[in-house]
Structure 1
Amino acid sequence: MRVPSPSLAETVENVAPPRMNRRQAAKVRTRLKVLDAARALFAERGYDAATIRDIAKGAGMSTGAVFANFQDKAELFETVFSEEMEGLLNDMRTGAAGVEGRVTDRLTAALTAGYHRSLGHLPLMQAMIARSWFQPEDADQRSRAFVGPLVLWIQDLLQAAVGEGELRQDIDQTLLPRMIWDTFISNFRYAAYDGWGVEELTPHVRQQLDLILSSQMARQ
């Protein structure tokens, strides 16, 4: 009996990743140390007050070692931003997982999980929001690409609600997810300037979601 040949995907999956030599491993460790130090400093001071010199000091290495891995502070911050968006998406998914009920319940749980994550390092989120207004066009496009998966995930939640008959079939599946994301981001202003915590943000964002989606509900 002829045994079928493995598919390309199976072949790639079974190939062990190449082992790094000592130099490569050391470079990876250095890069991770720099990123950890930069993330901590950006979270403590924001973007402008964090310097390459202080980041290098926090990582326990020279500024030359930092520049060997990152072109400048902007690239370093962009990398931190990318990783933070990945973590935020994972936390939102976890927050919504297992939540039953209306789509507003799932979205509220997801956005609340996002606030739980981000309020612990509010200066970092403030820096990300501020930088989005003052960066070159190519950097802005990359930032939008980092945020894109979160908006698409919100879109998936809305599409699921359409499929379940909760939302109308003709909802704007491009505009609504973006509106919800923009609402989530705008509320950090209350945390920064009015001292709001999760206890205040959760009911507030729930009211906002109710208003945004009220006209999109399917008629029963």
Structure 2
Amino acid sequence: MIRQAERSESTRANLMAAARALFAERGYAGVSTPEIVERAGSSRGALYHQFKDKKDLFRAVYEQEQQEILQQIAATMAEAPPTDPMAVLETGLHNFLLSCVDPERVRITLIDAPAVLGWQEWRAVDEKYGLGLIVAGLEAGIQAGVLRADLDIRPLALMILSALGEAAMFIANADDPESARARTEPAVLALVHGLRM
């Protein structure tokens, strides 16, 4: 049973890695399931055992991308001085915006995901992975007495998440994403600094 579970997990990981590479290279619409199966060294039966369809596989790839982005941001935030909650928030925001310049990530998370999953599902996944980190950053700032404590954290965090989503789209759709990121970051930081006591 354990070996079978390990094989199943390995098959799933191989299919996701193959799909991720192809989706990043050519986009969701430009990739067929036979190509994914061939690149993964798997079979159509294995693909449909692991995933309902191509969209379900894409959803799994997208969620994995979101997890990786979140882990990278959390790791960089942990390196910021813990006694300076604003530095922690700024580090997290900076690193999120940097992830919006990566063309492979952009294609999967910002171009294809809203179109493939639909806005509501795309937003729900975004909230699942990003909202908690924003809430934690705001709570740390409030507890340290740096940020205003008179605002309800959840709607505030949702508004910041929405602003980050718009910033990400602006960067992703720019002719020069790095220049767009450099222009966008001060505006995003100004929003957060507006919450200072």
Structure 1 length as normaliser, TM-score? 0.75
1:39 corresponds, among 8, 20, 24, to 20
User: Where does structure 1 lack aligned partners over 5 or more consecutive residues?
Assistant: 1-18
| Counterpart code for 2:7 | A
CA contact (8 A) 1:132 1:143 kept: no
Look up the match of 2:196: 217
CA contact (8 A) 1:39 1:80 kept: yes
Residues 1-220 of structure 1 mapped to structure 2, 5 A cutoff = 20-21=2-3, 23-100=4-81, 103-120=85-102, 121=104, 122-125=106-109, 126-133=111-118, 140=121, 144=124, 147-198=127-178, 200-214=180-194, 216-218=195-197
For 1:104 and 1:130, locate their aligned partners in 2 and report how far apart those are by CA, in whole Å.
34
Offset at residue 169 of structure 1 (A): 1.4
Give the fraction of aligned pairs with identical amino acids, expressed as a percent: 23
User: Where does structure 2 lack aligned partners over 5 or more consecutive residues?
Assistant: none
Shift of the 57–191 alpha-carbon distance from structure 1 to 2, 3 Å rule, reads farther
Shift of the 188–195 alpha-carbon distance from structure 1 to 2, 3 Å rule, reads farther
Shift of the 131–186 alpha-carbon distance from structure 1 to 2, 3 Å rule, reads farther
CA contact (8 A) 1:95 1:109 kept: yes
Offset at residue 171 of structure 1 (A): 1.8
For 1:143 and 1:58, locate their aligned partners in 2 and report how far apart those are by CA, in whole Å.
30
CA contact (8 A) 1:190 1:196 kept: no
Shift of the 143–201 alpha-carbon distance from structure 1 to 2, 3 Å rule, reads closer
Secondary structure of 1:186's match?
helix
Secondary structure of 1:61's match?
coil
CA contact (8 A) 1:104 1:209 kept: no
For 1:24 and 1:145, locate their aligned partners in 2 and report how far apart those are by CA, in whole Å.
26
Structure 2 length as normaliser, TM-score? 0.83
Aligned length: 193
Deviation track 1:10-41 (CA, whole Å, cap 9, x = no partner) reads xxxxxxxxx713x3332222111101011111
CA contact (8 A) 2:85 2:144 kept: no
Secondary structure of 1:144's match?
helix
| Counterpart code for 1:128 | A
Q: Which has the higher helix share?
A: 2
| Counterpart code for 1:130 | A
Task: Give the aligned CA root-mean-square deviation in angstroms.
Answer: 2.6
